[in-house]
Amino acid sequence: MTQGKNIATIRTTACATLLLIMWMALAGCATDPTQGYTSMSVFRDDVQTVAIPIFENDTYFRDVEFDLTDALIKEIEARTPYKVVNRTRADTILIGRVRKVELDQLSKSRLTGLSEEVILSVTIDFKWQHQLTGKLLVERQQFQGQSLFVPSQPSGEPIELGRFAAVQQLARDIVNEMQAPW
């Protein structure tokens, strides 16, 4: 009989604790993020669709603009409530230009003089704006993504691996910039 009372007491205490935690979580949330924690989306609710034309490329590095546009489309579709559509159906448009792609040697082999570690940097300008009103939502100049790759043996990583990683980083950072202002 005593064991039955202990189990009932434990269940009652557990339920009360769970209700208290839920109440505290709801009490801590606010509909306005400036007033406290919120469970609302961090992305704008006045935008449903985005058009992303292929970025312009001012560099001699080929296809970086295609890789960046592709990574950006995938990142927007995966992480935001927005749908990527063609320009004629979109609420907003995200356009950009690849300004620089640079390779910086971090270290080289004392034996061969060849690069052991290289940082690949991709610098872009982009802007995101409403198509109907022309209102600028986000604009960034000299926005940069970087990655490290090891072209020397035994790794022998190709430059494309460094470019891929830098472009992926840029796509993640651009989507972070698309979050609603607080």
Structural domains present in the chain: 1-40 (no CATH), 42-177 (3.30.160.150)
Please count the CA atoms within 13 angstroms of the CA of 9 that sit on its side-chain side: 6
Model pTM score? 0.74
Tens digit of pLDDT for each residue in 52-100?
999 999 999 999 999 999 999 999 999 999 999 999 999 999 999 999 9
Ranges under pLDDT 50 in the chain: none
Check: CB of residue 133 under 8 Å from CB of residue 92: no
Please count the CA atoms within 13 angstroms of the CA of 136 that sit on its side-chain side: 6
Please count the CA atoms within 13 angstroms of the CA of 182 that sit on its side-chain side: 13
Q: Say how many Å lie between the first and final Cα of the chain, rounded.
A: 57
Q: Which two tokens stand for residue 64?
A: 């970086």
